[in-house]
Chain A
Amino acid sequence: MQRYILKRLSLAIPTILGAVTLVFFAMQLAPGDPASLFIPPDLPPADSAALEQRINEKYGFNDPLPAQYVRYLTNLATLDLGESLRQRTLVGDDLMDRLPYTLRLGVLALLVSAIIGIAIGVASAVFRGTWIDNILMFIALLGVSIPSYWLAFSLILLLSIQVNWLPPSGPAEDPYSWDGVKHLIMPVTVLALGSAGALARYTRASMLDVINRDFVRTARAKGLRERSVLMRHAFRNALVPVVTILGLNFGFVLSGAVIVETVFALPGIGRYLVDGVNGRDFPVVQATVLLIATGFVFGNLLTDILLAYLDPRIRFE
């Protein structure tokens, strides 16, 4: 198991390094030169010249490309994520302040989507071809097809404006209170629904794949109760591809948080990214994108390890 973890880790680190490199080269695509990304267009010319000098000192955009790349890597390796052009705050500190909001939202959404998605998937596989299956799969289809912000605004219109049940937006003063729960109900629902839909569709396919296998027939033939056949024999084996999708959903939840936090005015890293993009605040954009990508790669690493734990065959591949 240790060897397997090391092997996976040795694949994850080059991927993160690659992501960092990709962002570096993407910056070269900027119209004009990369330095222009770091200067807000609405700055007075005098300020902007001073800023350009500071930026060039920090990132060395006048140096040859390899030297720039080394400096860029050094900055990142020392966790120096730069300074926000708008707020003049350290991007690293900002991200740490905002991370708890996104983590609370993301973990809850992942949990909710796993429970709902797997339950719907298993139920529709068990009742395959009946009206229950049809209705559940239609709900799952809606889940993957509905634009999340549209669902969000529909919910706000319904639950906050029509009947005043839930607060329309903003963070709660105390996240660990009943008020905090009320503030998170709509964001979590919206974020969870999309990945729950995808998960339900995969779970159903995976269950159907397993249900027709010989060992399931054997389990039935030896007289086990149907519930035991489904849960202990079929479901456990159907779980492997489901966990893979759950790992990918971690990424969808992270990127979905960008939109959901914007809609519900939650001060998480997704909202931070959008503010950075709209304010042409590139250090913010770059650091947030890299943080999310790193988180996603490590999320996938955890998924792989969990899979190897669930299914020993994977370890020896």
Chain B
Amino acid sequence: MKAATSTRRTAGATVSGAPSDEPALVALGRKSATRTQWQRVVHEVVTNRLALAGAIILIAAATVAILAPLLATHDPRDQSLLNRLSPPSSEYRLGTDELGRDEFSRLVWGARNSLFIGFAGTAGGLLLGTVIGLAAGFFGGWLDTIIMRLIDVMYAFPGILLAILIVAIVGPSITNLIVVLAIWGTPTLSRIVRSSVLMLKSEEFIHAATALGATRTRIMARHLLPNCVGPIIVYATLGLADALLTTAGLGFLGLGVQAPAPEWGTMLSVGRNYLREAPHLMVFPGLLILLTVISLNLIGDALRDALDPRTR
């Protein structure tokens, strides 16, 4: 967010004085208006206490994922069969799992797996969706028709179903999970980018660029894409929340990260067998997933409110 603001600022510094009361979704990122727009958006998100709380939780989770080797007190794969399913103690801060592995260390390393898969998958879907949506919206015609029909077909598989189908065929692994999440996120983002492009295409500044002889690639990359950044960021945030839930869901169904690698969803799925003896195996991974997803939803909501003129 910060980086985006600063690059926009330098880009917008040379051109200024655009009206600031135009609809934010369209105006967002347009060079002339970017500076004020992005500053306002950042300001609104930061002053929204819930979103700020969300951002802090998310940064904390990311930090844990990055610093996993330093924070973990035990090797997440070290078994101690004498200490199976023990409750939280001074030796094992959050207790141990069914093989006597330290739950705290597994959660810390699990953050790395869960968040990495979610981030990478969402980024893949973002890239694919943006390219496809730009092409469909800009070129229109038969290309658009084919792409949109294909997306309709992908939408026929609701929720986690498409992911289950693909994993059932290619088998579960971290790489496959990332690919699956990327494919899974592509249709929604394509639709969003396409509708933004359709809205922008008839705007005067695009006609002006065409009249000035800008190539189609340049129009797409320099004029259309920056103006779609707002909705893309909003849906990437909300999509990441969904991706984390889907990864955990697949892990729960045994289609996620395979044991002994620690991942929150997979850990939850093991914990269910010890509901009576060791409820802590269910409680902690679930709480972490819930907190991360809530924080992403809070940030996404705040971004959308800041970017959507209707709620102001």
Q: What is the interface of chain A, defined by CB distance below 8 A to chain B? A: 11, 14-16, 18-19, 21-23, 26-27, 29-31, 37, 141-142, 144-150, 153-154, 156-157, 161, 205, 208-209, 248, 250-252, 254-256, 258-259, 262-263, 273-274, 276-278, 282, 285, 289, 292-294, 296-297
Contact = CB atoms under 8 A, between A and B. Distances in A.
B275 A161 contact: yes
Interface stretch (B36-44, B191-199, B252-260): B252-260
B170 A145 contact: no
A251 B168 contact: no
A244 B170 CA distance: 33
Given A15-B152, A22-B154, A147-B249, A285 B165 contact: yes
A255 B160 contact: yes
B169 A296 contact: no
Q: DSSP majority for the A interface?
A: helix
A161 B248 CA distance: 24
17 contacts: A11-B152, A15-B149, A15-B153, A15-B156, A18-B149, A19-B157, A141-B301, A147-B248, A147-B265, A149-B268, A154-B282, A250-B158, A251-B159, A259-B253, A289-B157, A293-B158, A296-B156
A256 B154 CA distance: 17
Interface residues of B, number: 46
A177 to B, nearest CB: 27
Most buried by B among A16, A31, A248, A274: A274
Contact of B290 (A145, A161, A250, A296): A145
A27 B149 contact: no
Given A142-B294, A258-B253, 15 more contacts: A15-B152, A18-B153, A26-B165, A29-B170, A145-B241, A147-B293, A149-B268, A149-B272, A154-B282, A157-B282, A252-B158, A262-B253, A277-B168, A277-B253, A293-B157
A27 B254 contact: no
Given A146-B290, A161-B275, A26 B166 contact: yes
Nearest to A281: B168
Contacts of B282: 150, 153-154, 157
A282 B160 contact: no
Contact of A254 (B158, B253, B298): B158
B87 interface: no
A209 B275 contact: no
Nearest to A142: B294
B32 to A, nearest CB: 29
A150 B286 contact: yes
Nearest to B287: A150
A294 B298 CA distance: 34
Nearest to A134: B50
A22 B153 contact: yes
Contacts of B2: none
Interface in B14-60: none
A147 B297 contact: no
B160 A259 contact: yes
Contacts of A154: 282, 286
B60 to A, nearest CB: 17
A238 B298 CA distance: 24
